[in-house]
Amino acid sequence: MAFEFRFPDVGEGITEGEIIKWLVNVGDKIKIDQPLVEVETDKAVVEIPSPVAGTIIKMSKNAGNTINVGDIMVVIEEEGEVSKENIQAVSEPEQVKQKSVSVVGELEEAPDEEDGKAEIIAIPAVKKFAKELGVDLTKVKGTGIDGRITKEDVEKASAYKEITKKTEGEIEKVPFKGLRRLIAKQMITSASKIPSVTIFDEADVTLLFEIKAKMKETTVKKGIYLTYIPFIIKAVIYGLKKFPALNSSLDEENEVIILKKFYNIGIATDTEEGLIVPVIKDADKKSFSELADLLARLTELAKSRKIELKDLKGSTFSITNYGAIGGIFGTPIINYPECAILGVGKVIDKPVVMDGEIKIRKILPLSLSFDHRIVDGAYAQRFLNSVTSQLEGEVFAES
């Protein structure tokens, strides 16, 4: 009996994903819970396991295609042996006959031999993409399953058009998809919904530098690499407890500010594909070494794209460390729907006047972006003052 396995909801609010790689082929015999495909969704790459055992007789999407929750991914023959003829009959793409025609409006359909109307086999996102690039889909040959037109097909058609027109110089087109597209959506949501303001300050972390060096001797023996981030997390949590509106989100529909009594800290992580934000849950209940160990493991999982969706959800406040690659100050974009994000610059040696003398101190630049609907500048600055004072010495009471 043929079983149609549809793309399941793999996380909170997930509606679609992009197929990265198939782990099986048509004709393969599979077991229950055997991974079938890697799908990128909500900044994570997840493996989708099979709910049944049997033989793959059809795969409905190619790698690179978008798939919506509820779409058929594969058809699996559950019982008995499946002949090669049956596999071929089920998996062989249907021949799609098209004519070159002019199309008015939304590029939705074109005449064929039967009733004068033939469906253009492409998902709505591809049709919209083609319209934006000015590509006539009736003149594009689909390379996807069942003759489906993919984004790559549209891009190739568009590139051909531009090659015949452009004389200024060489260009390269990079597909805007996957993680890059997800980041763009999140950035647009944040920028369009949140009136963000950024304030700047500096913390004298000369003492922190010395304490970290001493603690590092112990943590290295445990196989833990200690950075400044665990100390910053502790300082942030201290500040959030004193100024709870920074650990909140705005429920616009019900017109209430939701103050969160738990502290899940998102740490923006640079990967080859783009920015991913792993979340350290209940960070206030963890020691410096526990934070360092968990941060290292989540960062590695994020960079290898093996991090689980649950570790990317539920943050209440975020930290972005652009100082790790040499940045000093920035204007971080808030991780919607959070209220604020702290940007951390690189530690620099800087001359500072102390007791009437000029001394060289280690200075940590800080940038705080916050939602001005929820808090005002004075409140945000008091929070940043609190974080700064912790980093300048008070945070070491625990160490």
A 10 A CB-CB count for 311 gives: 19
Task: State how far the alpha carbon of 357 is from the alpha carbons of 33, 317, 351, 354, 361, in Å.
Answer: 68, 38, 10, 5, 12
What DSSP character marks residue 81?
Answer: -
Provide the residue count of the chain: 399
- Beta-bridge partner residues of 21: 38
Tell me the three-class secondary structure of 229-250, residue by residue: HHHHHHHHHHHHHHCHHHCEEE
The CA-based diameter of the chain, rounded to the nearest angstrom, is 92
Query: Which residue stretches of 121-252 are H helix?
Result: 124-133, 151-165, 178-193, 206-221, 229-242
| Residue burial 206-218, b: 16+ Cβ < 10 Å; e: rest | bebeebbeebeee
Instruction: Tell me which amino acid residue 357 is.
Output: E
Distance CA 32, CA 21 (A): 19
Choose, from 362, 372, 373, 382, the residue flagged as catalytic: 372
- Written as six digits, the tokens of 146 are 């069942």
Task: State how far the alpha carbon of 368 is from the alpha carbons of 149, 253, 315, in Å.
Answer: 45, 26, 17
Residues 6+ away with beta carbon under 8 Å from 91: 26, 57, 58, 59
Q: Is 372 a catalytic residue?
A: yes
Q: Is 226 left (phi over 0), alpha (psi -120 to 50) or beta?
A: beta
- Written as six digits, the tokens of 292 are 């360092």
Catalytic amino acids?
Answer: 372
